[in-house]
Amino acid sequence: MPLRSLIVGIRSLSARGSSAFSPNKFGSLQRSDIPIERLVVPKPEKTKDFAKEKEFTVSKRKIKELKIPVGISKTERERLEKIQSRETPPPSHLCLIQCSKPEFNLLECKPGVSHSLCSTYWEKNKHSDEWFIIRRMTKESPSQFATEGNSWEHYVPDRLDPLIRDALADLSLKTPTQVQTQCLQAFPSRYHLFIAAETGSGKTIAYAAPLFTKLLQSKRKGFVEKAVILTVTAPLKRQTFAALSKLAAKTDLRLSMCSSDAGCSGDFDVLVGTPGLVAKTLRKRGASSDIKHLVLDEADMILDESFTDVLTEIFALVPVSDSITNPNGDSDGARIIFCSASCPEELECLADGVVDRQHLRYIKSPKLHSLSKNVELKFIRVREKDKIMRLQGLLAEDMRRGELNQTMIFCKDRATASFVHQQLQSFSHPVTLCISNMAVDENSRIFVATDVAARGLDLPRLSHVINYDLSRHLVDFLHRIGRVGRLSSSFLGRVTSFVRTPSEVRLTNAIELAARLGRPLSQIETDVSGQLKLARENRD
Q: Domain range holding 222?
A: 152-364
Residues 326 and 437 grouped into a single domain: no
Q: What percent of the chain has pLDDT over 90?
A: 53
Residues 189 and 334 grouped into a single domain: yes
Distances, alpha carbon 283 to alpha carbons 130, 236, 312, 328, in Å = 56, 23, 13, 20
- Of the three residues 343, 364, 385, the one that is the final residue of a domain is 364
Write down the pLDDT at residue 285.
81
Per-block mean pLDDT, blocks of 10 residues, the chain (540 long): 56 52 49 53 55 53 64 78 60 78 82 73 89 91 65 90 95 90 93 94 95 95 94 92 95 92 76 94 84 94 89 91 70 90 90 90 92 95 95 94 92 96 93 83 91 86 97 93 90 96 95 92 70 47
502: CATH: 3.40.50.300
Q: β-strands 95-99, 131-134: how paired?
A: antiparallel
In a domain, 65, yes or no: no
- Of the three residues 364, 399, 430, the one that is the final residue of a domain is 364
What is the count of structural domains for the chain?
2
Residues 350 and 382 grouped into a single domain: no
Q: For the whole model, what pTM was predicted? A: 0.79
- Rounded Cα distance between 307 and 328, Å, is 24
In a domain, 4, yes or no: no
For the chain, count helices (H), then strands (E).
16, 16
Write down the pLDDT at residue 146.
53
CA dihedral sign, ordered 501, 506, 510, 513: positive
Taking residue 533's Cβ as centre, other Cβ atoms within 10 Å add up to 13
CA dihedral sign, ordered 384, 389, 393, 398: positive
Write down the pLDDT at residue 538.
45
Write down the pLDDT at residue 534.
46
